[in-house]
Amino acid sequence: MKNTLILVFVIMILASQGCTNTSVYEGQGKTQKTEAKFTEDQQAKLIKACPPPRLTFSLERENFKRRLVRFNNPDKISYIYLVDFGKVMAYYTIKGKVSSVNSKLTTGEQLVEDPYAQYCTGGGVSPARVVESPQLDGSYGINGDAIFFFTTEDVYVEWAGKYMVCDQPLTLTTPVQLVQTVAE
């Protein structure tokens, strides 16, 4: 009985450990292991000889913060230049910010129960798998590779090309190729 309890206890501990990580080198050939070790050793020598600085301030993070604060304003007026064929195809004054058609309001993936799957969790293996979440309209998939925005006249514009956004208007030296006629 005592041995059975110990065996059950050991099995419970092993099961609660979750998925184990296998070596990143598993399945690699001998030369791959040698080259990976050489690369790691070389990088360690370079870090010792020329260590990266320990920054007390990150201008990159500050730039992202300033951008987020500046453009995350529904009343922000900006200017967008849509570019294609090496020319400015259209120019708009926009209100708000430029957004990706692939941005989502909810999570893009979710866990669903699947008795035939095993998903690693912190506490072990769960009978679940990751699947794509439906969009809020019930559809699946991506929406292409485009951006969208609203003009100051509240016109929705979607563009699948290159663009430039400024918060001050630019002076163009060539004429805009596409012109929007606004009914009055």
Would you call 156 helix, strand, or coil by DSSP? strand
Token digits for 135? 């969009």
Within 13 A of 75's CA, how many CA atoms are on the CB side? Answer: 0
Residue 150, by phi and psi: left (phi above 0), alpha (psi -120 to 50) or beta?
beta
Distance (Å, whole) CA 10 – CA 4: 10
User: In this predicted model, what pLDDT tens digit does every residue of 94-141 receive, in sequence order?
Assistant: 999 999 998 888 888 888 888 777 666 666 677 788 888 888 888 888
Q: Return the pLDDT at 25.
A: 44
User: At 29, phi and psi to the nearest 5?
Assistant: -75, 170
Length of the chain: 184
d(CA 92, CA 77): 10
For 30-108, where are the E strands, in sequence order?
A: 77-84, 87-95, 99-100
Place of tokens 């400024």: 166
Q: What is the residue-level pLDDT of the chain in tens, covering all 184 positions? A: 666 656 555 555 555 555 544 444 455 578 888 999 999 999 999 999 999 999 999 999 999 999 999 999 999 999 999 999 889 999 999 999 999 998 888 888 888 888 777 666 666 677 788 888 888 888 888 888 999 999 999 999 999 999 999 999 999 888 888 776 766 6
CA proximity to 153, closest of 96, 72, 71, 98 = 96
Other Cβ atoms within 10 Å of 12 Cβ, number = 10
HSE value, Cβ hemisphere, 13 Å, CA-based, for 77? 5
Q: Residue 39: phi, psi to the nearest 5?
A: -60, -45
Stated pTM of the model: 0.62
**Token representation of residue 121:** 């969790």
